[in-house]
Chain A
Amino acid sequence: MTRRRDPALAALLQEAARGTAFPETPALAESVRERIERGPMPVAEVRLPRTRPPLLRPVLVTLLAIAVALGVTLSISVTARRAVADLLGVVGIRITFGDDPPGSPTPARRIRLGDAVPRKTASELAGFRVLVPGAAAGRPAIYFDRRVGDRGMVTVVYPRAAETLAHVDLLVSEFVASLPAEYVKKLGTLGSRITYTDVRGVPAYWVSGDPHYFFFTERNGAVRQETIRLAGNVLLWEEDGVTFRVEGAGSLREARRLAESLR
């Protein structure tokens, strides 16, 4: 396309711009402050669209996808339960947070993790080499859930009963995303305790206490929320654009041992 100067058009634009009636700017300060004070819950706070059916709202769909992926029985804090329940109540869907089955050892939960796939397939689908902790006992099952993150999430599972996933001991999740330190830091204001540590020299976070969720950003900059699925603490870190999450390790020391054995 030929580039040429068009001063008449520039002048016309200037005049038009001065006389343009934009819609009135809404007062955002108070609502932004209220949302900040309630904590980083950008997904749960999305308002219903006024021009489209609510279920089409993409962010809402993302949350629903995560909720479905996690199954209907979640292990999350009371605060997070209420936030998710409030949101889903808005669109007329209820999720029941069930108790542990009688006699079930904690942290057993029924969790849907996507499709069981061979490790090689998981790597191809996710777009990175899936790592497995060499220090973990037993043979893992590997699942791929395309609904989490922008490339899908791989979860390496060490269940007591792989066929039902009823007694999960250890989950290692891996997905393409970044884990901005400031989001992790903000969890500290929401009741979680953050211990700063490292995995092979890479900064890592040991998150304990409520609420049991965290935030990450996709490559397009979108902020997403993820729920921590097993009761107890979680080790989070990001390495080469992949976010790792170890759940189910009994202690920080054990979590780091498992993390550093990822091969």
Chain B
Amino acid sequence: MEGRPLEDRELVERVKRGDVIAYETLVQRHQSAAFRTAYLVAGSANEAEDAAQEGFLKAFYAIDRFRSDAPFRPWLLAIVANEAKTRLRSASRRQTLALRLTEGRLEGGAVPSPEEAALARSEKERVLEALGHLGEDDRLVIGYRYFLELSEKETAAALGVRRGTVKSRLSRALVRLRSVMEEGS
């Protein structure tokens, strides 16, 4: 029994040798990111679940093509996002994403006044609502960077583009997000 959790790279090597349990560990480790990625594209929990599950299956069957020295998560997320997009297109529909805030407290140590808290919450709700009206590519690049907190490098791998392209895509997506927010106000 090994004392430390296996790294993705080690698990991938095991999967390549036919270890399904190792793959189950990878699924457990990345299912949240996969599901959220699919949700950002599909905008529906049911569709996101299906897309994430299919994405994991496709990744399993394509694992021999995966370079073990590359990070697993961006590669998986690219497959899941592609699956979610394909499903959306096959269904010929555009899903508006509806994100909502938790009932939790504001970040930071200071205790805001009820008015400040309400204002801050309203601003965040506005940005989430605007995000839901963006196209799937804009949602993905923003989602990867801000919601899944992928690094620029990981985002580039997940989107299959260069790091410089991530910067420009993100910049354009934020401009569009701001524009949608202003239109809505």
Interface residues of A (CB under 8 A from B): 1-6, 9-10, 12-23, 25-33, 35-37, 40, 42, 46-47, 49-52, 56, 58-59, 180-183, 185-186, 215, 220-223
Please state if B44 and A51 are interface contacts (CB–CB under 8 Å): yes
User: Which of A21, A29, A30, A32 has the most B CB atoms < 10 Å from its CB?
Assistant: A32
A1 and B171 CA atoms in complex are apart in Å by 10
Please state if B175 and A50 are interface contacts (CB–CB under 8 Å): no
Query: Which of B4-12, B23-31, B67-75 lies at the interface with chain A?
Result: B23-31
Interface residues of B (CB under 8 A from A): 20-21, 23-25, 27-28, 31-32, 34-36, 39, 44-46, 48-50, 52-54, 56-58, 60-65, 79, 82, 86-87, 90-91, 99-102, 104, 107, 120, 123-124, 127-128, 142, 146-147, 149, 168, 171-172, 174-178, 181
Contacts of B87 in A (CB 8 A): 58
Tell me the number of A-to-B contacts counted with CB atoms below 8 Å: 146
User: Which of B79, B123, B168 has the most A CB atoms < 10 Å from its CB?
Assistant: B123
Please state if A9 and B54 are interface contacts (CB–CB under 8 Å): no
CB-CB nearest 4 A-B residue pairs:
A58-B90, A23-B45, A16-B124, A29-B27
Contacts of A30 in B (CB 8 A): 24
A13 and B177 CA atoms in complex are apart in Å by 10
A31 and B172 CA atoms in complex are apart in Å by 38
Given A1-B175, A26-B49, A56-B91, is A21 in contact with B102 using a C-beta cutoff of 8 Å?
Answer: yes
A3 and B27 CA atoms in complex are apart in Å by 38
User: Which of B90, B104, B120 has the most A CB atoms < 10 Å from its CB?
Assistant: B90
A14 and B124 CA atoms in complex are apart in Å by 9
In the complex, given contacts A16-B128, A220-B86, what are 11 additional A-B residue pairs having Cβ atoms less than 8 angstroms apart?
A12-B124, A13-B127, A13-B142, A19-B101, A28-B53, A29-B27, A42-B57, A46-B50, A182-B62, A182-B65, A186-B61
A26 and B53 CA atoms in complex are apart in Å by 10
A1 and B45 CA atoms in complex are apart in Å by 33
Q: Which of A3, A15, A42, A52 contacts B54 (CB 8 A)?
A: A42
Please state if B101 and A180 are interface contacts (CB–CB under 8 Å): no
Please state if A51 and B31 are interface contacts (CB–CB under 8 Å): no
Contacts of A215 in B (CB 8 A): 61
Contacts of A5 in B (CB 8 A): 171
Given A13-B146, A25-B31, A221-B82, is A6 in contact with B174 using a C-beta cutoff of 8 Å?
Answer: yes
Please state if A31 and B45 are interface contacts (CB–CB under 8 Å): no
Given A9-B127, A12-B123, A32-B23, is A3 in contact with B175 using a C-beta cutoff of 8 Å?
Answer: yes
In the assembled complex, the CB of A49 is this many whole angstroms from the nearest CB of chain B, namely: 7
A6 and B171 CA atoms in complex are apart in Å by 9
Contacts of A185 in B (CB 8 A): 64
Q: Which of B57, B65, B120 contacts A32 (CB 8 A)?
A: B57
Please state if B99 and A20 are interface contacts (CB–CB under 8 Å): yes
